[in-house]
């Protein structure tokens, strides 16, 4: 075991992918000489050279399009978009090209492209750089959506994502980069199709993903002190959703709280809630509860940002309201 940060686990994944396959290359703003806006790619330019670690102009539509073209040409590009809000500048490339080319070509052309981007609030970056738009992208057929919340997933999701013949969007929560813990020296690929029960419980299921997993686990710790046993499910893959694991947990606990940093209306939490009701309605002892971000532009002030985003106390309160 080694002690590493989430950032270092991501760098290990990049290093491993670049070593495994000469077709793999990384491209994006400041990924080379600067070492990445969040220092994830620090040192990779010196190790692999400018052909495989490519700094791009400030043009998301341009370099995401170049990544799509490279994937069509047989390469395995990893495209880094600095933050999720900048992905909106490449929305046409992602939604109308990467996601649809397999269908539009009659099954002739796959797009084996991985797009990494930082998501989430909690770092006082204001309304323009604090979005959680993963739920938007889960609406789109043709792409896989991943949200690594642990060191193991940060290390293990990239290679199987590159092996996927279809485009994959990988959302890294910005507040996790400095998170530190132990990671097995032989840590490798993880299952991209299955959600994971991070903590077993019997009284209520808390469903979450990404940066909100630590909030869910913190709530479970607090509830345990009150004698309430909470099971925590980490979605990991947001599209496709592992509905079976979610429903199986709810059938055991009979109550569910969905924690989602996205806005409530039309959110991923709404989809998860709907699936629970559709497939486990008669096992529920209370309505499904949701804890989401306030539907406002994200405040800059720290105390207001904390009020706007889901906190441990909000999840605990939601569980209490279910009568657990």
**What positions carry a catalytic annotation?**
60, 129
What is residue 297's DSSP assignment?
A: P
Q: In 116-253, which ranges are continuous DSSP H helix?
A: 134-137, 151-156, 158-163, 213-225, 243-253
Q: What are the Cα distances from residue 158, in Å, to 46, 188, 255, 284?
A: 21, 10, 33, 36
- Cα distance between residue 57 and residue 269, in whole Å: 36
Instruction: Read off the DSSP letter of residue 258.
Output: E
- H-type helices in the chain, by residue range? 6-20, 44-48, 60-72, 91, 101-104, 134-137, 151-156, 158-163, 213-225, 243-253, 268-280, 302-308, 312-321
**Angle at alpha carbon of residue 15, lines to 100 and 19, rounded to 5°:** 85
Give 275's DSSP letter: H
Instruction: Give dist(CA 228, CA 225) in Å, integer.
Output: 7
The residues facing 169 across adjacent strands are 115, 145
CA-nearest of 232, 213, 243 to 149 is: 213
Residues 170, 237: Cα–Cα separation, whole Å: 9
**What is the rounded distance in angstroms from the CA atom of residue 113 to the CA atom of residue 103?**
16
CA distance 286 to 171: 32
């Amino acid at each position: 075991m080694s002690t590493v940060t989430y950032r270092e686990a991501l760098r290990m994944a990049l290093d491993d992918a670049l070593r495994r396959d000469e077709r793999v290359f990384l491209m994006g703003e400041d990924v080379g000489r600067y070492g990445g806006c969040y220092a994830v790619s620090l040192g990779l330019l010196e190790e692999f050279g400018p052909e495989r670690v490519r700094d791009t102009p400030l043009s998301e539509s341009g370099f995401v399009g170049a990544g799509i073209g490279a994937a069509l040409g047989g390469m395995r590009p990893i495209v880094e978009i600095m933050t999720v809000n900048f992905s909106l500048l490449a929305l046409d490339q992602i939604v109308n090209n990467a996601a649809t080319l397999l269908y539009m070509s009659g099954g002739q052309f796959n797009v084996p492209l991985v797009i990494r981007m930082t998501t989430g609030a909690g770092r006082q970056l204001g309304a323009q750089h604090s979005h959680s738009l993963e739920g938007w992208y889960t609406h789109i057929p043709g792409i896989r959506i991943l949200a690594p919340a642990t060191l193991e997933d940060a290390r293990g999701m990239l290679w199987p994502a590159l092996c996927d013949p279809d485009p994959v969007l990988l959302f890294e929560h910005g507040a996790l980069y400095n998170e530190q813990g132990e990671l097995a020296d032989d840590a490798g690929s993880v299952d991209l199709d299955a959600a994971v029960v991070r903590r077993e419980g019997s009284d209520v299921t808390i469903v979450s993903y990404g940066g909100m997993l630590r909030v869910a686990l913190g709530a479970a710790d607090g509830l345990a002190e009150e004698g309430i046993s909470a099971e925590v499910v980490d979605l990991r893959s947001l599209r496709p959703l592992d509905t079976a694991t979610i429903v199986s947990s709810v059938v055991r606990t009979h109550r569910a709280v969905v924690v989602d940093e996205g806005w409530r209306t039309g959110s991923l939490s709404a989809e998860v809630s709907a699936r629970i009701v559709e497939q486990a309605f008669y096992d529920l002892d209370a309505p499904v509860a949701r804890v989401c971000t306030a539907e406002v532009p994200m405040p800059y002030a720290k105390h207001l940002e904390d009020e706007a985003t889901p906190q441990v106390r909000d999840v605990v309160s939601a569980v209490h309201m279910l009568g657990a």
